[in-house]
């Protein structure tokens, strides 16, 4: 399931975070690559122990926890501290699959990567190329979102970033360990939660709401790994 979530960050927060990131020092993006990715990856990153990474990353994590759509879709148990990359001058990231487990050196945190996420900082028309292309059981998805928007997708999906041939693509990327390991179960819970929310908006006193909410929580209780 590829889930796009609009306006995770407001335009004001996007501008604030982008200014802080653009002023930070950038380095070869392969500092965080696994063996497979190192052969496919050409971009720049800010070192994960730089103070601006922690500062802007915290803003993003706080915004994620406030976003009902993200919480419903990801059911996060842990969020890997966000990292930041930049593509320009023909840089790209070839087809790869993200590592199953990520280790965050500054904090010592280790998480299972059930979901991958990219948060965009540049307007789509400010650069050419730079699409995130995700291959899953439902086909090929090409993603290039407005600033402040997020895409979440299974970390086991094949994906790549097309070359940026004009301008620059600035984004945050990170991973989520979900309370629900199984992708199919997460999708069922999201569909059920969405239906409950819609029914609540349309007919808040409907007698089925208590029963449906009970089904949701009993399934979550059965499947959750906390």
Q: Which residues contact 184 (CB under 8 A, 6 or more apart)?
A: none
Rounded distance between C-alpha atoms, residue 14 and residue 70, angstroms: 18
Distances (CA, A) of 198 to 5, 36, 74, 206: 17, 43, 19, 11
Which residue range(s) make up the domain with 218? 183-223
pLDDT in tens, 26-66: 998 776 555 555 567 899 999 999 999 999 999 999 999 99
Give me the pLDDT at residue 221, please.
97
Total structural domains in the chain? 2
Give me the pLDDT at residue 29, please.
76
Same domain, 126 and 202: no
Same domain, 137 and 35: yes
pLDDT in tens, 63-96: 999 999 999 999 999 999 999 999 999 999 999 9
CB 174 within 8 A of CB 83: yes
CB 176 within 8 A of CB 150: no
Rounded distance between C-alpha atoms, residue 38 and residue 196, angstroms: 44
Angle between helices 11-22 and 51-65 (to 10 degrees): 160
Same domain, 49 and 118: yes
Rounded distance between C-alpha atoms, residue 94 and residue 159, angstroms: 8
Structure-token pair, residue 107: 């904090």
Give me the pLDDT at residue 90, please.
97
Same domain, 47 and 62: yes
Structure-token pair, residue 105: 């050196």
Structure-token pair, residue 181: 């390991």
The percentage of residues in the chain with a pLDDT greater than 70, rounded to a whole number, is 96
Q: Read off the pTM.
A: 0.92
The CATH number of whichever domain residue 163 belongs to comes to 2.60.120.620
Partners of 191 in the β-ladder: none
Give me the pLDDT at residue 32, please.
56
Same domain, 148 and 71: yes
Give me the pLDDT at residue 33, please.
52
Rounded distance between C-alpha atoms, residue 25 and residue 50, angstroms: 9
Angle between helices 183-202 and 208-223 (to 10 degrees): 160
Same domain, 171 and 197: no
Same domain, 101 and 201: no
Distances (CA, A) of 43 to 36, 38, 179, 218: 15, 11, 32, 44
């Amino acid at each position: 399931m590829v889930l796009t979530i609009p306006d995770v960050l407001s335009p004001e927060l996007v501008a604030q975070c982008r200014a802080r990131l653009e002023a930070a020092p950038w380095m070869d993006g392969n500092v965080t690559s696994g063996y497979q990715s190192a052969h496919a990856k050409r971009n720049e990153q800010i070192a994960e122990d730089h103070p601006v990474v922690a500062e802007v990353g915290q803003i993003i994590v706080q915004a994620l926890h406030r976003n009902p759509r993200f919480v419903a879709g990801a059911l996060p148990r842990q969020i890997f501290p966000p990292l930041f990359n930049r593509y320009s001058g023909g840089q790209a990231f070839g087809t790869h699959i993200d590592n199953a487990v990520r280790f965050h050196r500054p904090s010592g945190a280790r998480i299972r990567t059930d979901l991958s996420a990219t948060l965009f900082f540049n307007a789509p028309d400010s650069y050419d190329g730079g699409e995130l292309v995700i291959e899953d059981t439902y086909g090929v998805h090409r993603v290039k979102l407005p600033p402040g928007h997020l895409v979440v997708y299974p970390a086991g999906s094949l994906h790549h970033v097309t070359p940026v041939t004009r301008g620059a693509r600035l984004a945050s990327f990170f991973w989520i360990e979900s309370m629900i390991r199984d992708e199919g179960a997460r999708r069922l819970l999201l569909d059920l939660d969405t239906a409950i929310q819609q029914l609540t908006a349309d007919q808040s006193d409907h007698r089925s709401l208590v029963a449906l909410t009970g089904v949701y929580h009993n399934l979550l209780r059965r499947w959750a790994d906390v």
